Structure 1
Amino acid sequence: MITFIKESIEEMRTKVSWPPYSELQRSSGLVVVGCLVFAILLFVIDQGFDNVMSWFYGQF
């Protein structure tokens, strides 16, 4: 188990290509914006569904 952990750490240091900090910031910003857009879209759909169901049940 110790050998596995040591080799994993070594592989992460030498064989993994890490993005530059500026690219990481840009990607993180894109993820945040995408999440916000998705949350707003879900909110609009939920409110529309709520309005339709309230109207429908109000008919009875």
Structure 2
Amino acid sequence: MANIVNYITESFEELKSNVTWPAWAEVQRLTIIVAIFSVLFALATWGVDEFFAKALAGFFNWIKA
């Protein structure tokens, strides 16, 4: 148990002293960029899914007829 506590203590010390954190403005800017690209990627994935769903439905209706 002491090893786990020691590991966590050293990890927090490492984060406080050796990590260079970005400025708050940069964090906000990058968060907005990630959110925008996530929405765009989700819309693109939805569009491709809808396209293939309709294409397959049309194909199977063509075969069935």
- Asked if TM exceeds 0.5, the reply is yes
| C-alpha distance in structure 1 between counterparts of 2:56 and 2:8, whole Å | 55
- In structure 2, the partner of 1:16 is 19
Matched with 1:44 is 47
- Deviations for 1:26-57, whole angstroms, at most 9, x for unmatched residues? 11001100100100100110110011011101
SS in 1 for 2:43: helix
Unmatched runs of 5 consecutive residues or more in structure 1:
none
Equivalent residue pairs, number? 60
The aligned residue for residue 55 of structure 1 is 58
Residue 40 of structure 1 aligns with an amino acid whose one-letter code is L
